[in-house]
Structure 1
Amino acid sequence: MSLDDVLARIDTDLPAAMERLMDLLRIQSISTDPAFKSDCDKAADWLVSDLNSMGITAEKRPTPGHPMVVGHVGQDLGDDVPHVLFYGHYDVQPVDPLNLWNTPPFEPQIEDTPNGQVIRGRGASDDKGQLMTFVEACRAWKEVHGSLPCRITFFFEGEEESGSPSLIPFMQDNADELKADLALICDTSMVSRGVPSIASQLRGMLKDEFTITGPRIDLHSGHYGGPGLNPLREMSKIIASFHDEDTGAVTVDGFYEGVHEVSAEQLRQWQNCGFDEAEYLNSVGYSQPHGEKAYSTLEQQWARPTLEINGLWGGYNGAGSKTVIPSEAHCKITCRLVGDMDPDALRDKIRAHVQQRLSPDATVTWDNDLEGSPAPVMNIARPEFEAARGALSDEWDREAVFTGMGGSIPIAGFFKSVLDMDAMLVGYANDDDAIHSPNEKYDVKSFHKGIRSWARILDALTRT
């Protein structure tokens, strides 16, 4: 028996696999709402039972919040066989606003669309459908061969959509059990429809907030307009100084320390990944990109750092007018980080930039409770990554690409920082899946080919 036998079993078993996914989607495992705590427990129990039915030793592990599901298989295969950990999450986002759903969010169904059949329901794409692609690949492999090709640890979380408060303590307390050669994560999208993707770099995050104070109280602009320092005007001057108007670059001294240029091979893959710049920009009302002019839109999104103004307020905001010079002005900023940028060092640089530009009689105070996290960068030089890329290319009949991601997936960084373990992010979602929104869906093609893809990847990893 061969990989082809496993793929054939996946094709034959697809209707049953979809029914199993439907059962899981019916469970209202909304982690952020205490009213659904029992439903989160129910989802964890469902997964434990499903893994146990495949001969996988799995159990529900308590945490201060929602339980983890941990399972193991293949430990008797020996240390010379690869050991992978697969991560997914069984919790889902709230469904509000409910009136915008065309069908009940926890009554999943199959629908016909111009792009083919989809599975409609909360969690279909994020992350139950994606999680089950791996489980179903393992099921088919086990049914055909009687065992799995490598050692596998299953690690399913129930708090991803509510900040993962129990995740790091659980990983620290169970590090020896969870440690593997490589972590696999299926909680991402393809770069464009039909283009298989492996995320090779994500962006980290730095958050900060500051207040500029001028006079000790709000002032009458008739009495102090002119000689009085206006914090809003002071704030506007500082915000304008963050970026170079001609190049779009951030002007904070040392901001780009730790940033690396993208390799020529990576740029080649990105240029041929099917990304439609015009559609990406036009969909939100832009006619052109507005970042660093020396870099393409994809480079700006995936491989360049940013400094964004997320909130700005001060003075009078009520109806009509009030002739006031405000005492304070406030600003929230975030930075997306790439490469080896150090969030703590960067915070100091940004604060120094602001301090150096303050006028006499202006003071600045900072929110010291905000945290930062570095950018996760995957070690794609490891042979497993190229093996997986080849497996995906074979399944989708199209070159798979190593992509970047503009956002952050904390678990990828936690695997490295807590368990010293590289992570491979492979997902089959599409950008129109409406995750976190009403009418979430997952393409049946994504589910089917996702299962086949994991079977191919498991086969490839055992041959690496």
Structure 2
Amino acid sequence: MVQGAVESYLEELSDLVSFPSISSNPKYKEDVRKCSNFLQEKFADLGAKTEIVETSGHPLVVSDISNYDDALTLAFYGHYDVQPIASPEDWKTDPFTLVEDNGKLYGRGTSDDKGNLLTAVKAAEIALEEDLRLNFQFIIEGEEESGSPNFESGLKKSRDMLDPDVVIVADGGWVSKDIPSIEYGLRGLLYMHWNLRTAGKNAHSGAVGGPARNPLLELFDVVCKCLDSDTGEIKIPEIYDDVKEASSEELEHWIGTKFSVEEFKESYQLEKLRFEDKAKVLKSLWARPTFEVHGCVGGYMERDSKMTLLPSDGQLHVSMRLVPDQDPKMVFEKIRNFVGDKNPDIEVKSVSHVEPYLTDFNSPMVKAAAESLEETFEKPAARIRSGGSIGAVPIMNRVFGGGDIIIMSFGLPEHGAHGPNEYFTKEMAKGGMEAYLNFFESLEGEK
């Protein structure tokens, strides 16, 4: 049945990719709406109770196929919105036309997240046809790529329709093509703008340089007091106080995976790392907080040019990846107090935050999902945490009151999510359906 599902999968993915559902650009509001309507019709065809849940932004599509009172209910989370096309000239094909080439399926959203989402939907469709004793629910949002600003309000509006025993996040992927991966934890995120104004206008450095303050230098000075750039250690007092350390069992499992530091460097074109010990790299990626500067605004910004104006103001874009049990709001206060102590004129503004998430490494659901991957792909599966963040996950954890949320998806680093020539593959779509079905079969009759 899976082979037949792959053919209809390609037709439906072609339809999904054709919607330029870019949530961050109001120009595409109607396209986002059309994509949500397409999904609602898809679920209605499956016999689901399905609703378009309005929010103050883009809607959620929520669906329920519950045929058994005494069976487990699995809810799938995914998103139908996509990233903008930052550099159209770098695409070899039209981003919103699905193009198949030697098993690769090119198009915006094929990997993140339309292709992965549809893999889960098709697997559930097969399970329904085979009368597996499971109930399925779907929570699909249209603003994940914009930070999920209205997801919580939409989810709460849908609460009466949703009562899952476990949530499967169909968004994300594997460490590498050789390491089937189940993610049971996510880092959180705190994103900030640091602003400093020292003058009413830019001025000639020959006229004012010396007594005049330079806002960019002062911002950089404080940043350098926050982090040891050689080791990555954060120097802000008490910042590690609430960090929940990874267990020795977790670390032993991570080290025992086929993760290769050299392949990691090659995948992301990293010329040199701060450290290359495998255990330290994995712990740093999955279980330690980070402090990063992503951009600087102020003064003259053209590369390889020459300008001697002294800027009147500057802004740094700063973020921290957080780990359990760090609270983004408490971390923000520690940062703001530290920066204020070093330079009281700097305004530290919180732009957005996402809480970290962690379920039990030894959860039966996590183990069953990993075993399903091993059975399908005939390779050892890794139970890992993700270094990234998915804003919807901690929200679902709060709204649903606990229970396992696991990330079981089939994207690979080389698929190029968010970049030009993004693609998914027929091989991963087919394997993903088979893995989900093996997982479903292991859970049938569990409740």
Q: Which residue of structure 1 lines up, in the alignment, with residue 227 of structure 2?
A: 243
What is the rounded CA distance, in whole Å, between the counterparts of 2:117 and 2:180 in structure 1? Answer: 17
Tell which deviates more after alignment, 254-263 or 212-221: 212-221
Q: Does 1:83 align with 2:73?
A: yes
CA shift for structure 1 position 203 = 1.1
Number of aligned positions between the proteins: 443
Contact 2:64-2:161 within 8 A present in 1 as well: no
CA contact (8 A) 1:210 1:364 kept: no
Compared CA separation, residues 126 and 244, structure 1 to 2 (3 A): closer
Alignment check: 8 A CA contact 1:289 1:297 kept: no
Q: Distance in 1 between matches of 2:72 and 2:116?
A: 22
Question: Are 1:61 and 2:53 matched, yes or no?
Answer: yes
Aligned-partner residue type, residue 126 of structure 1: D
Give distance in 2, aligned partners of 1:216 and 1:31: 36
Distance 1:101 1:208, change over 3 A: closer
The answer to whether structure 1 residue 42 and structure 2 residue 29 are counterparts is: no
CA contact (8 A) 1:191 1:273 kept: no
Pair 1:399-2:369 in alignment: no
Whether contact under 8 Å (2:355, 2:391) holds in the other structure is: no
Quick one: distance in 2 between partners of 1:212 and 1:322?
19
1:271 paired with 2:255, answer yes
What's the counterpart of residue 338 of structure 2?
A: 353
Residue in structure 1 matched with residue 84 of structure 2 by the alignment: 94
Structure-1 residue corresponding to 2:272? 288
Letter in 2 for 1:50: K
Determine if contact 2:255/2:279 at 8 Å carries over to the other structure.
no
- Residue by residue over 1:363-398, the C-alpha shift from the partner in whole angstroms, topping out at 9 and shown as x without a partner, is 323244534332111233432221221122111112
| Residue-by-residue CA offset, 1:207-232 (whole Å, 9 max, x unaligned) | 23334566788788678766666555
* CA distance in 2: counterparts of 1:220 and 1:24, whole angstroms: 54
2:152 pairs with 154, 168, 171, which one? Answer: 168
Q: Which residue number corresponds to residue 337 of structure 1?
A: 322
The question of 1:140 aligning with 2:126 is answered yes
Structure 1 Cα separation of the partners of residues 105 and 278 of structure 2: 41
Please state how far the C-alpha of 1:88 moved relative to its aligned partner. Answer: 1.5
Partner deviation per Cα, 1:95-117 (whole Å, 9 max, x = no partner): 353332222223313211xxxx1
Q: Name the SS of the counterpart of 1:307 in structure 2.
A: strand
| C-alpha spacing 1:221/1:287, structure 2 compared with 1 (3 Å) | closer
2:158 and 2:62 map into 1 onto residues whose CA distance is 10
Distance between the aligned counterparts of 1:104 and 1:221, measured in 2?
48
CA deviations over 1:3-42 (Å, ceiling 9, x no partner): xxxxxx2134432333333333333333334444443333
Structure 1 residues 231 and 390, CA, compared in 2 at 3 Å: closer, same or farther? Answer: same
Q: Is the 8 A contact 1:388 1:461 kept in 2?
A: no
**Which has the larger displacement, 446-455 or 415-424?**
415-424
- Could you report, residue by residue, the CA deviation over 1:287-330 in whole angstroms, capped at 9, with x for unpaired residues? 43227989622222221111112334555668645375x66554
Among 111, 117, 136, which residue is 1:125 paired with? 111
Supply the distance in 1 between the matched residues of 2:205 and 2:42 (Cα, whole angstroms): 69
Change (3 A) 1:356 1:151: same
Q: Distance in 1 between matches of 2:121 and 2:326?
A: 36
Distance 1:62 1:330, change over 3 A: closer
| Distance (Å, rounded) in 1 between the aligned partners of 2:231 and 2:28 | 49
CA contact (8 A) 1:291 1:300 kept: no
Moved more, 97-106 or 186-195: 97-106
Matching of residue 199 in structure 1 with residue 183 in structure 2: yes
Residues 386-436 of structure 1 show CA distances to partners (whole Å, capped at 9, x for unaligned) of 122112211111221111222211111110133324411111011111222
Q: TM-score, normalised by structure 1?
A: 0.85
Larger radius of gyration: 1
Q: Distance in 2 between matches of 1:447 and 1:150?
A: 22
**CA–CA separation in structure 2 for the residues paired with 1:357 and 1:65:** 39
In structure 2, the gaps of 5 or more residues are none
CA distance in 2, matches of 1:57, 1:404: 33
Q: Could you tell me which residue of structure 1 aligns to residue 413 of structure 2?
A: 431
Q: How far apart in 2 are the matches of 1:315 and 1:214?
A: 12
CA contact under 8 A between 1:309 and 1:332: conserved in structure 2?
Answer: yes
Instruction: Indicate whether 1:109 and 2:99 are aligned.
Output: yes
Query: 1:215 & 1:33 partners in 2: Cα distance?
Result: 34
Q: Work out whether residues 249 and 291 of structure 1, in 8 Å CA contact, stay in contact via their aligned partners in 2.
A: no
Gaps of 5+ in 1: 1-8
Aligned amino acid, residue 365 of structure 1: I
1:180 and 2:170 aligned: no
Specify the code of the residue in structure 2 equivalent to 1:99: E
**Aligned match of 1:299:** 283
Amino acid at match of 1:356: D
Higher deviation after alignment, 279-288 or 51-60? 279-288
Give 1:6's aligned residue. none
Quote the residue 1:5 is aligned against: none
Contact map agreement 1:192 1:273 (CA 8 A) in 2: no
1:442 aligns with: 424
